[in-house]
Amino acid sequence: MKTIIVPTDLSPGTDAALSVAVDLARTSGATILLLHVVVYPLPMPDYAYTISMAVSTDRTVAEYREIEQEAEASLKRFADHAAYNGVTIIPTLITNGDGLVHNVTERPADLIVMASKGASGLNEFLFGSNAEEIVRYAHCPVLIVKQPIARFKPENIVCAVDVDDRLKATWHYPFPMGEKGLHQFLYILTSSDDRDPEGVRDWVNDFARVKGITEFEFIVRPAPTVPEGITRYADEVNADLVVLFTQGHKGLQHLLFGSVAEDVLNHATMPVLIMRV
Average pLDDT over residues 251-272: 70
pLDDT at 61: 79
Burial class (CB in 10 A: 0-12, 13-18, 19+), 21: buried
- For the segment(s) 154-276, the CATH number from 3.40.720.10, 1.10.287.130, 3.40.50.620, 3.40.50.2300 is 3.40.50.620
pLDDT at 99: 81
Average pLDDT over residues 157-169: 88
Q: Sheet holding 3-7: strands in order across?
A: 89-94, 31-37, 3-7, 111-115, 142-145, 272-276, 241-246, 157-160, 184-189, 217-222
pLDDT tens digits along 83-98: 999 999 999 999 887 7
Q: How confident is the model at residue 125 (pLDDT cuts 50, 70, 90)?
A: very low
Mean pLDDT highest for which of 21-30, 63-72, 156-165? 21-30
The residue ranges of every structural domain in the chain are 1-152, 154-276
- For the segment(s) 1-152, the CATH number from 3.30.565.10, 3.40.50.620, 3.40.50.300, 3.30.470.20 is 3.40.50.620
pLDDT at 177: 85
pLDDT at 46: 52
pLDDT at 57: 63
Average pLDDT over residues 184-201: 92
Q: Decide if pLDDT at 210 tops 60.
A: yes
Measured at the alpha carbon of residue 102, what is the angle toward residues 105 and 33, in degrees to the nearest 5? 55
Q: How confident is the model at residue 49 (pLDDT cuts 50, 70, 90)?
A: very low
Mean pLDDT highest for which of 53-57, 130-134, 254-258? 130-134
Q: What percent of the chain has pLDDT over 70?
A: 85
In contact, 132 and 106? CB cutoff 8 Å: no
Q: How many CB atoms lie within 10 A of CB 18?
A: 27
Q: Among 14-23, 81-90, 120-129, 257-266, name the one with the lowest average pLDDT.
A: 120-129
pLDDT tens digits along 218-231: 999 999 999 999 99
Give me the helices (H) in the chain, please.
14-28, 50-79, 100-105, 121-126, 130-137, 197-211, 226-236, 251-257, 260-267
Q: Do the two domains 1-152 and 154-276 of this chain adopt the same fold?
A: yes
Q: How confident is the model at residue 21 (pLDDT cuts 50, 70, 90)?
A: very high
Q: In this structure, are strands 142-145 and 217-222 parallel, antiparallel, or unpaired?
A: unpaired
Q: In whole numbers, what is the pLDDT of the chain averaged over residues? A: 84
pLDDT at 42: 63
